[in-house]
Structure 1
Amino acid sequence: MYLLLDIGNTREKAALFSAGTLSPLPELSADRLQRLPVKAVYFACVASDRRLNDLKVSLGLDHLPWHQVSSQAHAFGVTNCYEQPQLLGVDRWLALLGAQQLFARRSLMIVDAGTALTIDWLDEAGMHQGGWIMPGLRLQQQSVVQQTAKVFNRELLEAKIIPGIDTVSCLQNGCLAAVIGAIRQGWSLNQAEQLILTGGDALYLKPQLADLALTTEPLLIFQGLARYIDP
């Protein structure tokens, strides 16, 4: 069994990989992990070395091998289009690897709907065709609220693609329309055989894209990370 980690600056996401099967790990606690037969940790990290070391100690796993994965020019039949491949965000790189494994020899549009919304295209030969980065649904809303004096929001997200009738619905509906509009524009610009949706807002956005060739893959990044495991 292997522990897979996606380590951000403020939080970590985790999954377990055993006998070819991925399973999410919603609670990352030392008590639980120390009862599991974890052989090694494979991780992607955008946080500082200090945060990484603190995590190793707090999880009680500093005695295990830790293998960091970074973006590459080429791996597992996927070719990175960046001139400086190491500058492609590792989450995007792992999403490309996961998508190519799940949908081999198909042209793909991969949408990761998290804090940032990223869109990447991968052709049937595994060539990365480039992508977009933009603020995600909640980040757009936060930006408007923080930069204006009389626009406010609420925690509950109830956006719809219709005109708003008060400040909150105008803000939420407008940001949803911007995100969905960007995804649809991307689909029209470089239509693929399959649209793959992942990230924290994936299930919220899915109903707005139901007419497209859409699948949701919540563990897509971990699917890519698991390809690096060397049993």
Structure 2
Amino acid sequence: MKLLVDVGNTALKLALYKNDEITFISQHEVNWQDINQVLIASVRSNQQLDSLISDANERGVEVITAKVSAEQNGVSCAYQQFHNLGIDRWLVVLAAAHLYAGQSAIIVDAGTATTVDVLVEGKTHQGGWIIPGIDLMMESITSRAEKVFANELVSFENTVGINTPEALSYGCLAASLGLVAQARRLFGDNVRVLCTGGYGKLLSDHLENSEFIEDLVLRGLVAYAK
């Protein structure tokens, strides 16, 4: 059984992988007797991660930390300086190539930042965009514009707001959806969209021909190690 570790900008997620199934767990649920390999995707240093690696090393369990390369599993990276691409972005591209072999996809990871990456015909990463995530958008405005305020009771709707909290929430959603719309204008209106991250389900619900895959980074991690 494999232990999958995803260290994002905000949180560390753990999951078990066996028989092509991924099951999220907490750290206290890790049973090292069942683990034969640890696969890691990390965008930053983390004390909890260091502890996990130490535990694995003490037990002689193989640890693999994913890294971006110019080419992996038949997929080429758009970045000439490929090491500058975030590993989380690279893994969702590899996951898309694995899940939908030979197909094009727009991959959206809506977390602390919202990233969009484009994969063409399952083999060519064309690059992408990074913008502040929805929470960061809202915080950046409310912290610097005295008369703009949020209301936690206001949901996100794909329409125009008729008061300030609605205008803020709806506007941040619209900006994120607009990013995907622009990607489709550039690469094809019918290109499949794969969404992940904390706001991935929200975006997917407002996008046609889209799918929310909660464990997309982890799926990419598994594909990376094959």
Scaled by the length of structure 1, what TM-score is found?
A: 0.88
Counterparts of residues 181-200 of structure 1 (less than 5 Å): 181-191=178-188, 193-200=191-198
Aligned to 1:147: 144
Shift of 1:73: 0.8
CA RMSD of aligned residues (A): 2.0
Q: CA deviation at 1:172?
A: 0.6
Shift of residue 118 of structure 1? 0.8
Structure 2: any 5+ residue segments left out of the alignment? none
What are the Cα deviations for residues 177-219 of structure 1, in whole angstroms up to 9, with x where unaligned? 111112112111211531111111111122211xx22122111
The aligned residue for residue 3 of structure 2 is 3
| Residue 99 of structure 1 pairs with residue 100 of structure 2 | no
Q: How does 1:10-21 map to 2 (within 5 A)?
A: 10-21=10-21
Corresponding residue to 2:216 among 213, 220, 223: 220
Which residue, 91, 113, 116 being the options, matches 1:116? Answer: 113
Query: Does structure 1 conserve the Cα–Cα contact (< 8 Å) formed by 2:10 and 2:112?
Result: no
Aligned partner of 1:22 in structure 2 is 22
Q: Is 1:173–2:170 an aligned residue pair?
A: yes
Residue identity matched to 1:116:
A
Show structure 1 runs of 5+ residues with no match.
none
Tell me how many residue pairs correspond in the alignment: 223
SS at match of 2:206: helix
1:113-167 Cα deviation digits (max 9, x unpaired): 1111111111115011111111111111111011122222133450212222222
Partner AA of 1:196 in structure 2: L
Cα 1:13–1:100 shift into 2, 3 Å = same
The alignment partner of 1:173 has SS state of: helix
Distance 2:74 2:87 in 1: 17
Instruction: Specify whether residues 183 and 170 from structure 1 end up closer, same or farther in structure 2 by C-alpha distance, changes over 3 A only.
Output: same
The AA in structure 2 aligned to 1:220 is L
Match of 2:160 among 155, 159, 163: 163
Contact map agreement 2:94 2:220 (CA 8 A) in 1: yes
- 1:99 aligned partner, one-letter code: A
Residue type of the alignment partner of 1:38 = I
Q: Percent identity?
A: 35
Q: Show CA shifts across 1:57-104 (max 9, x none).
A: 5xx545233211111111111110101111111000000100000001
Superposed structure 1 runs of 4+ greater than 4 Å apart: none
Q: For the Cα contact (< 8 Å) 2:7–2:44, is it kept in 1?
A: yes
Query: Is 2:86 the counterpart of 1:84?
Result: no
Seen in structure 2, the aligned counterparts of structure 1 residues 120 and 70 have a Cα distance that, compared at 3 Å, is same
**Match of 2:109, SS?**
strand
Residues 1:12 and 1:157: Cα distance change in structure 2 (over 3 Å):
farther
Secondary structure of residue in 2 paired with 1:149: coil
Instruction: Please report how far the alpha carbon of residue 36 of structure 1 lies from its aligned counterpart in structure 2 after TM superposition.
Output: 6.0
Q: TM-score under structure 2 normalisation?
A: 0.90
